[in-house]
Amino acid sequence: MVISGSIVALVTPMLDTGNIDFPALRRLVEWHIAAKTDAIVAVGTTGESATLTVDEHQAVIKAVVETADSRIPIIAGTGANSTTEAIELTEAAKRLGADAGLTVTPYYNKPSQEGLYLHHKAIADAVDLPNILYNVPGRTAVDMLPETTARLAEIPNIIGIKDATGQLSRGLDLLNSCGDKIAIFSGDDATAIEFLLMGGMGNVSVTANVAPQAMSHLCRLAMSASTEKQQAEVRRLNDLLMPLNNDLFVEANPIPVKWALSFMGLMGQGIRLPLTPLQEQFHQRIETALKWAGVDSIARSSS
């Protein structure tokens, strides 16, 4: 199994009551497959994993896996700040048929680099499921350094890392230190395309939720661009998505992207506390970014 290209960090649609909208979830999966999204992350940060119960977490993975029906890889968010819980979630993901797990660095308790290594090693040793590391220090308050990632890259079923630092220098460090052993994915839409031009394997994307076809096409072009002319075209197309890449973070993710999908008619406005609906002052800004990217009319005609 090779995972590369545009990997959507899928939202979890909800009704106004906060209950999960499974019909809308299945429609989104079908939409992404038709738009040539390369893989789906279920119940990651964008999927509101932090507010789902364990049963809901598993139910979403099950629905996404069953709907995709082996047409594209499904990566299940299985991270936790408890190593035991992360192992249990990874075991569940394997049982439910996910192709890989995505394990975020433990948040809140601020482990050392050795603690990070032993945490991820314990998960990999316990569950025979391909594992993608996830480093997002802006949310977890801990940064897994490249040398720690390089140690973990020696473990056979650790197959990649999603780096969401947004630092191209960090991406280059990872490519140089362990890019021959594991796949290095961007987790930051604003810098992802430049990272792919440097040799990255894909983009775990929030923007792909609303612009799946555009992001898929752009990732493919960036990963194959070998001339200055081709790279210039990639950057031109990336400029069309840049307002979305930035404006989908005017409030905490996934607040803006869930509003955008609702505006596009692809699902309702449901979101779960402590997150709240997008403030009205940002509505026009997101709408303008959608139109600039040329995805508003495409989405409406597909819904």
Catalytic residues: 134, 162
Give the span between the Cα atoms of 224 and 207, in whole angstroms: 21
Q: Burial, 251: exposed, middle or buried (Cβ in 10 Å; 0-12, 13-18, 19+)? A: middle
The residues facing 74 across adjacent strands are 40
Task: Tell me the C-alpha distance between 15 and 117, whole Å.
Answer: 39
How many other CB atoms are found less than 10 A from the CB of residue 301? 8
**Cα Rg of the chain, angstroms:** 18
Q: Which residues of 75-110 are buried (b: 16+ CB within 10 A; e: fewer)?
A: bbbbbbbebeebbbbbbbbbebbbbbbbbbbbbeee
What one-character DSSP code corresponds to residue 14?
A: B
3-state secondary structure of 16: coil
> Peptide bond before 254: cis, by omega within 30 degrees of 0?
yes
State the greatest distance between any 2 C-alpha atoms of the chain, in Å, as a whole number: 51
Of the chain, the end-to-end C-alpha distance in Å amounts to: 31
Closest CA to 179 of 208, 212, 202: 202
